[in-house]
Amino acid sequence: MDLENTTSVTVIGLGLMGRALAAAFLKAGHPTTVWNRTPARAADLVAEGAHLAPTAGAALKASDLTIICVTDYQAMRELLGEDGIEPGTRLINLTSGDSAQARQAARWAEERGARYLDGAIMAIPPAIGTPEAVILLSGPQADFEAHKPALDALGTATYVGADHGLASLYDVAGLSMMWSVLNAWLHGTALLRTAGVDAAAYAPFARQIAVVVAEWLPGYAAQVDAGAFPAEVSALETDARAMAHLIDESEAVGVNAELPRLFKAIADRAIAAGHGAEQYPVLIEEFSRPHGG
């Protein structure tokens, strides 16, 4: 089967994201079949050259490769359960879900003889078709390699491992990073606004801190992987004193201190467990079990 960029592709689910995916395949020259529960949403794509399949089952059979992108896994199962997948179907599910759903969907698809990759889209629809759109894929590596030339039409297709749950796990890990950085920036902005500094003035400084901290990650990751946390630059108990200062300052100027209190509560637990003289990444032990466990 020719899986170069003439690969025929089906896109099932033409919401905001599915329409962007189908448009990117069309733009890259792939023969593109589409299907959506509400057929009217296919109109612009059909005008651009897509073929509208009459049923989801017909859409699945129409192409070398099928991408499904609907609201959730339940919608996917309802859809594919109706018309069915068959041995040899090549399916990539870009619907958001959790790692257990991804593994379960993979078992379900593979029991029916399909070749299944699970994926997560770390981008908004307007970015699809550009390198900024990172598409994480997990499942059999040979299938990823076979489909990569087609997936390159969507953005930066990135393989994260054979375990079908990994794309979802990377996706949520990225969300945790994103919200943590944004919350910390907003807390700092609230502190500075009490002294008349506007958000735009603080943003370049905050950006620089984020860049510097990002540079620490490879070395800190090596400590986490080695399970050894020598205090090379700072001990956790030093950080905890700075956290107390951050709480005090927040309370004194009347801004929300929930975030630094959370930081300190986590650090205090590790210090109470005897880790005060070790370096910050020792907190991985606090993050690796349920709260208070």
Binding site for ligand NAP (CB under 6 A): 13-18, 36-38, 41, 69-71, 75, 78-79, 95-96, 121, 124-125
How many angstroms separate the CA atoms of 15 and 35, rounded?
Answer: 11
Nearest distance in Å: CB 21, ligand NAP? 9
Shortest Cβ contact with ligand NAP: which residue? 15
Exposed / middle / buried, residue 27 (Cβ in 10 Å: 0-12, 13-18, 19+): middle
How many angstroms separate the CA atoms of 194 and 202, rounded?
Answer: 12
Choose between 34 and 235: whose C-beta lies nearer to ligand NAP: 34
Nearest distance in Å: CB 19, ligand NAP? 7
Choose between 125 and 161: whose C-beta lies nearer to ligand NAP: 125
Choose between 5 and 176: whose C-beta lies nearer to ligand NAP: 176
Nearest distance in Å: CB 93, ligand NAP? 9
Choose between 6 and 71: whose C-beta lies nearer to ligand NAP: 71
Residue 210 to residues 97, 217, 262: CA-CA distances in angstroms?
28, 11, 19
Neighbouring-strand partners of residue 122: 134
Choose between 17 and 24: whose C-beta lies nearer to ligand NAP: 17
Choose between 15 and 140: whose C-beta lies nearer to ligand NAP: 15
Choose between 23 and 271: whose C-beta lies nearer to ligand NAP: 23
Nearest distance in Å: CB 9, ligand NAP? 16
Nearest distance in Å: CB 38, ligand NAP? 3
Nearest distance in Å: CB 236, ligand NAP? 36
Neighbouring-strand partners of residue 158: 136
Structure tokens, 191: 């502190």
Contact 31, 3 (CB under 8 A): no
Contact 23, 129 (CB under 8 A): yes
Structure tokens, 81: 């359960």
Choose between 44 and 248: whose C-beta lies nearer to ligand NAP: 44
Nearest distance in Å: CB 164, ligand NAP? 16
Contact 236, 283 (CB under 8 A): yes
Nearest distance in Å: CB 114, ligand NAP? 18
